[in-house]
Amino acid sequence: MQMKILINNIRHRLTVFIHDLLMVPIAWFGAYWLRFNLDVIPDEFFDRAVEVLPLLIIVHAGVNWFYGLYRGMWRYASIPDLIRILQAVAIGLAIGFGLLFLFLRMEDIPRSVPIFYGVLLVMLLTGPRFFYRWLKDHHIDLRVGERVLVVGAGKAGELLVRDLLRKRDHSYLPVAFVDNKKRWQGQEIHGVPVVDDCEAIPQVVEKYTIDCVMLAVPSAKSVQRRRLVELCEQSGVPFRTVPELDELMSGRVSINQLREVSIEDLLGRDPVALDWGGIRTGLAGKTILVTGGGGSIGAELCRQIAQLEPASLLLLDQSEFNLYSVEMELKEQFPVLQLYAYIGDVEDRATVEQLFSRHTPDIVFHAAAYKHVPLLEHQVREAVNNNVLGTRNVAEAADRHNCSEFVLISTDKAVNPANVMGSTKRLAELFCQNLDARSTTRFITVRFGNVLDSAGSVVPLFRKQIEAGGPVTVTHPDMERYFMTIPEASQLIMQAAAIGDGGEIFVLDMNEPVKISYLAEQMIRLSGKTLGEDIEIKYIGLRPGEKLYEELFHEQEKLQQTGHEKILLAQHRKVDWEMLSGAMAEMEQACQQFDNACLMQQLQQLVPENRIGRAD
């Protein structure tokens, strides 16, 4: 590498050296040409000019080297470079013509030639240097590159353009900015003009023959990002985005690591402010168990927790491959973390008891659950066994081993459930809430809606259908769901755990619901396809157990504010503990006997608000 740098430096200096030497004869004969009024130079004067030229070349070569004209980079030519050139030319003229006067008495050298020669030589030495810098500063590049429109003239936009202009291997040529701040319009940033506001993206693309739009607004709210994407789609050219603000600030990525706009950019919400100090205090130095640690939420919880320096982190999952993948990832990213990965099922009481006896976890995040609504609708036993009895196994083990905290990860489908999956999750909520009053362990429930790109969710399904050429299947044009990203859900779960006293149902603020049809349309467009031409949307009707609209809380739960703006508190319903325990024992026996009718009866009795089999 050092040798390569040395060779490049030598090549650069040699190029500049040759350039400056070539300027000497051009300036010399140009001076004669001016002296004779741009006419033919008489022979006697021309012969003398040729005779003395080698002396001038030698003199100026030495003087230029002495004054360091070959050390500076033309890309950054400045006033000090001009001063050095003036000094070098002046000294070179004094030495050169001093020698000519001493040896030749300046015969056949007109008196005006030294003046013309000095002026021309200064112009020929400085002109190319400053012209080259002007080309670079105004990105008038000789290469052929994609003409780029940068959306956002703030700090991110300025950094992006600066980086694009500096990197020679990039084939992008920033042509213009658009920004909604009126005070910036009409100004230039690194020579790139701010030409209009963001609403004019389609018109600017056409006017300036733009090949690509780059979104440099990492802190924009989701609503603003959606509007920008709509405008980019109207322009008909490809568009990219810079990384998110938190990624840039953390140093994980740089401004020039452009990527495709993702569905998370459009449906993901505004960045969440977390009390990381309180979260770290609650988790650092603790032994933490995450059940379902190989799943989407469980794995992300492990990633977030691992950063907070727990004493040890335990993973339990029944999927061998998922568990292996997460274990390898965590070991690579956190080599000093005390990590234990166990293959096991929360339905297996012996496995759960063995894990708690061996490690005595301080905190449990219970993410293990079956969640696929249509699949579970006809497999009541499996849903109850995992979501209800499995939760009971882990919760009771936490109670017996004096865990300080147990966090149940629930779902919006547990509210007025219209399916088996939602009913089992609601029953798991009821068990944990009511166990809290009888235990020293704090039992906390966190409830939220759909998570973007989680395993088995609609986003991977749509992506697969788009890759296959369609159609994209949507159950109903009016179906709506709440969405949040996996990292945000995991972070809010930890935040809820930090502020909970026990017995609460925390409901994550999901903002406004999103139509599934809108999600499908946006994913088709973001894939570069045209809706209705390249890929169709096909409506197939509601599947068993599905509702058109999900709810985040029951009308009797009376949501209250908490210390965090994105976390709400729902008042839970108390039930008779003896009755609940007896019903759970009966459900366990029904599972052993595959008595689905009994299980359905118990679900109806224990979750009276459920609407299984009823119209939405």
Tell me the three state secondary structure of residue 553: coil
Q: Are 393 and 352 in contact (CB under 8 A)?
A: yes
**Amino acid identity at 151:** V
Tokens found for residue 65: 């080297």
Residue 318 CA to its chain's centroid (Å): 31
Tell me, yes or no, if 221 is annotated catalytic: no
Length of the chain: 616
Rounded to whole angstroms, the Cα distance separating 603 from 610 reads: 8
Q: Are 315 and 327 in contact (CB under 8 A)?
A: yes
Tell me the three state secondary structure of residue 444: strand
Return the HEC string of 52-99: HHHHHHHHHHHHHHHCCCCCCCHHHCCHHHHHHHHHHHHHHHHHHHHH
Q: Give CA separation, 268 vs 110, 222, 292, 483, 512, in Å.
A: 78, 6, 24, 7, 11
- Kind of pairing, strands 363-366 and 405-411? parallel
CA atoms within 13 A on the CB side of 518: 13
Strand order in the sheet with 239-241: 188-189, 192-196, 172-178, 146-151, 212-215, 239-241, 259-260
- Which of 61, 111, 70, 116 has the alpha carbon at shortest distance from 91? 61
**End-to-end C-alpha distance for the chain, whole angstroms:** 68
Catalytic residue among 136, 286, 371, 413: 413
Q: Are 413 and 425 in contact (CB under 8 A)?
A: yes
Q: Give CA separation, 356 vs 53, 90, 294, 361, in Å.
A: 94, 87, 19, 6
Catalytic residues, by residue number, are 413
